Structure formats: C-alpha cells, structure tokens
Chain A
Amino acid sequence: MIKNILNLGDSSIYYDFGEQINKETNKKVISFFNSLKKANLEEIINLTPSYNKLIVSFDLKKTNFIELKKKIKDIKTSNIDEQKNKKIEIPICFDEEFFLDKERLIKKLKLSAEEILEKYLNKSYFCYMTGFVAGMPFLGDISKELRTDRLKTPRLKVPKGSVGITEQFSNIYTFESPGGWNIIGKTPYKIFNSNNKANPVLINPGDNVHFFPISKNEFLKLDEK
C-alpha cells in the first residue's frame, strides 16, 4: 500500500505507493483516488493520481498537512475491482497522413507496418492516469515488441487526436501540443470536451481502452474536430 507520506510544499500531501510501476500499484493509487473523491472533503481542492503517486492539494485557509493527513487516514479505501470502470472503444486511422513515425518505427522495431498495427490493436489498455494537458490518457502496457524511446527532438506541434507510443505506454494528444512520442495514427474522437460538464473526459483513470481501425473515409465522417 502506501509506502511514504510527505508534504509537497505547504498545501499538498504526497502519497508514495513505492517504486514499482505496474497495474497492481496503479490500481491501488486509483482506488485511493476514487475513495477520496467520493468522500468529497471540502478542504481538498485537487487530486492528482499518477502511476505510483497520489497528490492531494488542499486549501490552506481551511486545514493543514497534519490535520488533513489524520482525517484522510480514517477514510476507507474500497477495492478498484468492486468499482465500475468503463470499457471504451476508440477508432483509430492509420492512414499515411496520420502515421507520422512509420519509417522510424519500422527501422527501430524491425517490424513491418502491418505487424506494428496488428500488435497494437491486439490488446486493450489500462488507463494509468490522465493529465499533462487536458484529458491526455496514459495507457498501457503495449506489447514488448513495440517499445521504443521518444524522439530525440520533440515535435513542436503534434496534431490533435494523434495516438503515440513510447516505452510501455500509449497516449492520445487531446490538444495540439509539443511532444516526443512516436505517432502511429489518429482518432477522430474528441477525447476532451469542456461542454460536457458532468464528465469532460472520455477516458478516466482505471478505464480500459480498446482501439479499432477505421479507413480514411470513415475518419473524415467521424471527425469531431
């Protein structure tokens, strides 16, 4: 469970779940995150789960590190398997126009383009966390044969909707932004939608994501911009 509890600055608690990065550790983080969210304490102003950490930011006007730490200790954490996590199907188009790092990956992974797609589509992925920019999901784990490092020089602009891979993870660029992941395709879905007030992101931590291939024509029809 929690290996260490520290303060991060004067208004955040840093829960460390240990150095192991895997689904098991992350499920514990997400269970803890869900329980705190459910508890809905008014002094908590933000929760940030990641692979093996949870950061709880609070309002220093209302509480402090020691007080809130004590209060949180009494909150029961329910197991993630008892919670309902969604299975989400995401369309992806591998057209030349969107498969930006095709040549690089063929060379690096010593696989054909078809083999890369097959191995990528073969699995469903667990969402470890969302963030960095609004709604970006960090998905894993991708097949061992697809793992490679980031681009040496990041792109200044990765198009919105691009799907990238690096190391054991995959992600979706929810906004045009700089980035160094290897881009394999693009989804027409709007992953982040601020008009959806109840739940502005399509993929949440703990969800399972499966990609299915679509043609360029289908992409253009589905494109939500």
Chain B
Amino acid sequence: MKSNFFEVLRPGINSTFQDLGRENFYHIGLPFSGAMDNRNYLLSNTLVNNKYEAAIEFAYQGPLLKYYGKSTVIAVTGDVNFSITKKNKKLINGECYKNYVLENEDELDIISTNKSVYGYLSVSGGFVLEKILNSYSTFSRAKIGPFKGEKLFVNQKILINKTSDFKTQKKIKYVNTKIEYIRIIKATNFDFFSKKAVENFLNKEFIVTKLTDRMGMRIKGPIIENIKEKNIRSEGIVKGTIQIPPDGDPIIMLSDHGTIGGYPKIGVVISADYDKLVQLVPNTKIKFKLVNLPEAEKIYEIYRLETDNLINQIK
C-alpha cells in the first residue's frame, strides 16, 4: 500500500502537534500543554470528521506543506490566510471553517494569521503519531511529544492515517470576536498589593508585550506595587495565573508554564476567556475585570454551550 503523507517545505515559526493536553503530570513538572485555543482546535477536528486527533498548531506564520497520496480532506481554523495550489497550478484562496479536498501533489500554504496568534490544521483521520505520556501534545522545552518533541522542520515527512471515504463538504460561519476585557478571579495573594495597585490593575490599560509565547504572556502597564512580600515559597500554579514578580510587571501563565513558581499571584483568568486571551498579539491593549467564582462558572457554562452548538452545527 502506498503511504499518504505531507512533506514540510517550510515549517513556519512555531508549528507543533497539539491535542487536548497532557493530564496528571503537574506533580513531576510537566505542564498541561495542548492546543492554546481549545475551541478552534475542536472545530478544525470536527470539520474533517475527527474527534480528538492531533492538529498542527501554528503561530503567526504557518507551514507550507506538499501532499502526496490518495485524496483527503483538511480544514483550517482561526483567523488565517491560506491557499491551496493544485497540481495544475490553479490557486484556491482558502477560507477558514470550511473543509477542502487535497489531492496528490497539492500544496497547502498557511501564509499567516490575521491580527491573532494561533491557527489549527486538521486532516481527516488524523496524522500518524506516537502518543508520549498519554498525549500527542508537544512540550518543546523539555522535548516531549511526537517527533521527539520537536517543532515542525524542513523536509519532515508526516504520514496520515488511512484516508477515509469521508468527503462531505462542511462549513460554518464563525467569527473570532475580540474581547474588550479579560475576566479574572482574585487569587491567593490578592491582598499583598497596595490599594492603589489593585485599583490600577482593575482600571488601567495594559499592553501585551513581545515577551509572549506558549509558556507565558508578559504585559506592561502601571507597576503593581507589592506591600507585603515580593517572593513566596514556591508552590503550584495553574494555567491563567497572573503572577507579579518583584519588578511589578504582570506575567500570565499559559499552557506550557512552569508547574511551580515563587511569585505572588494577584488573579487567575477565568477558563471561558482563555481561548481569546492567547490570541492577543503584542501591542494589544487589554483591561481586566473582576468576577466572582459563581459568575465565572456561569460564564464557562455559556462558553461550553456555545462550543457544543458550533460542533453540532458542523456534524
């Protein structure tokens, strides 16, 4: 049997395999990892009739891939410019949230994301990958994941599972809306900060800096003054935790964060706002808004229902 595969002609800036994430390894220092924007990961899979297969996550510039094999179906999600060049040189401008048939020797060029960071590529049936510690997710810092935890690289051959007969055209209307503010819950060291600092934190604008990646997001605004202790005993942190290091500039912990940390925590981003938070490009202005736990739970329930509705629309 002839194999079906992608050849990587250009890997893109930060292209990795991701899935729902790696559970139950925080206690040995492994972050959750997984797709940064969970909703877009789920939608790309659903558009090609997959459930939780690994997708290729790319940031800013995506990969240029050449396909060899029996025709198959792909989909791209996010806010992404991409094109497909057919074997006869015919160029198709790609639309996100719509699936496409790829044929032997077609080229898929994921050119760039649009005023957002991450996008996802799924292929019907999924890629042929090895699960590492129960997950396809890549944690490149510790080289954990398929292909020895490496990001995509030039000339890499990525096999795909037996092409299914699934060829149904699927499409949804979905717009990645921007959020006006990031909703947070008070964290355990909220009272370490001066009244003025808390006021600034909740009312002033912050700017997303370039020091942002899958591990964390550094933001800049008014200095958040700590009036108690600048360091605490190292303890566990979770995705979305906002730490204030001694310099007073907040760091938001993202999916590949260190599992323990010694900086005081002022807040934690609510689960429902995480997908939108990670899509903010450097220089975006953001504001925080405080909510309580029951509110956060209610907002999450809405987020979950919206996601389920989108998935059901595709099915």
Q: Which of B42-50, B161-169, B236-244 contacts A (4 or more CB under 8 A)?
A: B236-244
Q: 12 A-B contacts, Cβ less than 8 Å apart?
A: A10-B268, A46-B27, A46-B32, A47-B24, A55-B236, A61-B304, A64-B297, A65-B293, A131-B259, A134-B30, A134-B139, A192-B29
Whether the Cβ atoms of A133 and B142 lie closer than 8 Å is yes
Q: Does A194 make an interface contact (CB < 8 A)?
A: yes
Q: Which of A7, A9, A21, A131 has the most CB of B within 10 A?
A: A9
Majority-rule SS of B interface residues: mixed
Minimal beta-carbon separation of A88 from chain B (angstroms): 15
Per the bound structure, the CA–CA distance linking A136 and B141 in Å amounts to: 14
Within 8 A of A (CB), among B128-186: 132-133, 139, 141-142, 144, 149, 185
Per the bound structure, the CA–CA distance linking A30 and B38 in Å amounts to: 32
Per the bound structure, the CA–CA distance linking A57 and B233 in Å amounts to: 20
Residues of B within 8 A of A21 (CB): 233
> Which B residues are closer than 8 A to A by beta carbons?
23-30, 32, 132-133, 139, 141-142, 144, 149, 185, 187-188, 233-238, 240-241, 258-261, 265, 268-271, 293, 296-297, 300, 304
Given A45-B24, A60-B297, are A55 and B238 neighbors across the interface (CB < 8 Å)? yes
Select which of B235, B241, B268, B297 is within 8 A of A50 by beta carbon.
Answer: B235
Q: Does A148 make an interface contact (CB < 8 A)?
A: no
Residues of B within 8 A of A53 (CB): 235-236
Q: Which residue of B lies closest to A57 (CB)?
A: B238
Per the bound structure, the CA–CA distance linking A210 and B296 in Å amounts to: 46
Whether the Cβ atoms of B23 and A46 lie closer than 8 Å is yes
Given A6-B188, A60-B300, are A11 and B144 neighbors across the interface (CB < 8 Å)? no
Q: Which residue of A lies closest to B234 (CB)?
A: A50
Select which of B26, B141, B187 is within 8 A of A131 by beta carbon.
Answer: B26
Whether the Cβ atoms of A8 and B297 lie closer than 8 Å is no
Q: Which of B27, B259, B261, B271 has the most CB of A within 10 A?
A: B27
Q: Which of A95-103, A105-113, A196-204, A211-219 contacts B (4 or more CB under 8 A)?
A: A196-204
Given A50-B260, A205-B27, are A9 and B185 neighbors across the interface (CB < 8 Å)? yes
Whether the Cβ atoms of B29 and A52 lie closer than 8 Å is no
Whether the Cβ atoms of A194 and B133 lie closer than 8 Å is yes
Select which of B132, B139, B238, B260 is within 8 A of A12 by beta carbon.
Answer: B238
Minimal beta-carbon separation of A46 from chain B (angstroms): 4
Given A8-B187, A12-B238, are A204 and B28 neighbors across the interface (CB < 8 Å)? yes
Interface size range of chain A in the complex: 35 or more
Residues of B within 8 A of A192 (CB): 28-29, 142
Q: Which residue of A lies closest to B133 (CB)?
A: A194
Minimal beta-carbon separation of B211 from chain A (angstroms): 14
Q: Does A51 make an interface contact (CB < 8 A)?
A: yes
Q: Does A49 make an interface contact (CB < 8 A)?
A: yes
Residues of B within 8 A of A205 (CB): 27
Whether the Cβ atoms of A48 and B260 lie closer than 8 Å is yes
Q: Which residue of A lies closest to B183 (CB)?
A: A10
Per the bound structure, the CA–CA distance linking A200 and B24 in Å amounts to: 12
Minimal beta-carbon separation of B303 from chain A (angstroms): 10
Q: Does A175 make an interface contact (CB < 8 A)?
A: yes
Whether the Cβ atoms of A131 and B271 lie closer than 8 Å is no
Per the bound structure, the CA–CA distance linking A175 and B240 in Å amounts to: 24
Per the bound structure, the CA–CA distance linking A132 and B304 in Å amounts to: 31
One digit per residue, 1 when the CB lies within 8 angstroms of any chain B CB and 0 when it does not, for chain A 117-134 equals 000000000000111111
Within 8 A of B (CB), among A52-80: 52-55, 57, 60-61, 64-65
One digit per residue, 1 when the CB lies within 8 angstroms of any chain B CB and 0 when it does not, for chain A 15-56 equals 000000100000000000100000000001111111111110
Residues of A within 8 A of B296 (CB): 9-10
Residues of B within 8 A of A189 (CB): none
